[in-house]
């Protein structure tokens, strides 16, 4: 029986190993949804992001990076967020793919003619069924405490992967844009 890590260095190695395996899985799997989500983001006149809890916090990081790229990005639930319209994109993250508020928002988006992209662990979830592009992350859902998909607590591996996916999507889109880092820099907040 393996002894769980009890110091931070061992925990860091475990987390790094799980992330490496997850990234390797996503890169090797044909039709993983990575390019479809990148294309949906690039083609949308506005991108709305929505996730709950830690997944939502992770997706907000992606929203900020996409804004640095010059995209019109909205975080669902902010007081200044406009209504989504036909042709726009709702980018979601829900490990289970069943989070009620996210599924409802996806239904609303589809009803008005917007597209949905989903990051989830469950390809058969209601959210994945509504999405035109889905990235399926091989990680435990927050309610899975079996330790088989991840030794980490709850949905930690999923949430960490959402951060990595967001940065990977941004990086690929940035490189395709031909913009330099100096071109992007003026979009950082300067109210400090």
Return the active site residues: 159
DSSP-derived 3-state class of residue 171: helix
DSSP-derived 3-state class of residue 98: coil
Question: What value does the CA radius of gyration of the chain take, rounded to a whole number of Å?
Answer: 17
Edge to edge, the sheet with strand 73-75 lists 73-75, 47-51, 89-93, 115-120, 133-136
Residue 74: both structure tokens together: 């909205």
Q: CA–CA separation, 81 vs 71, rounded Å? A: 15
Residue 85: both structure tokens together: 């319209």
């Amino acid at each position: 029986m393996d002894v769980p890590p009890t110091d931070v260095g061992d925990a860091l190695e475990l987390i790094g190993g799980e992330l490496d395996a997850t990234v390797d899985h996503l890169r090797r799997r044909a039709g993983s949804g990575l390019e479809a989500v990148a294309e949906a983001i690039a083609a949308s006149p506005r991108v709305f992001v929505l996730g709950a809890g830690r997944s939502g916090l992770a997706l907000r990081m992606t929203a900020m990076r996409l804004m640095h790229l010059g995209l019109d990005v909205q975080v669902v639930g902010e007081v200044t967020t406009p209504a989504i319209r036909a042709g726009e994109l709702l980018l979601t993250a829900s490990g289970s793919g069943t989070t009620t508020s996210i599924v409802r928002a996806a239904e609303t988006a589809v009803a008005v003619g917007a597209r949905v992209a989903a990051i989830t662990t469950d390809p058969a979830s209601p959210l994945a069924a509504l999405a035109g592009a889905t990235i399926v992350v091989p990680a435990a859902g927050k309610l899975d405490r079996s330790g088989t998909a991840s030794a980490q607590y709850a949905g930690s591996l999923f949430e960490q992967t959402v951060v990595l996916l967001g940065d990977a999507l941004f990086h690929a889109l940035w490189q395709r844009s031909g913009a330099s880092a100096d071109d992007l820099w003026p979009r950082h907040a300067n109210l400090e």
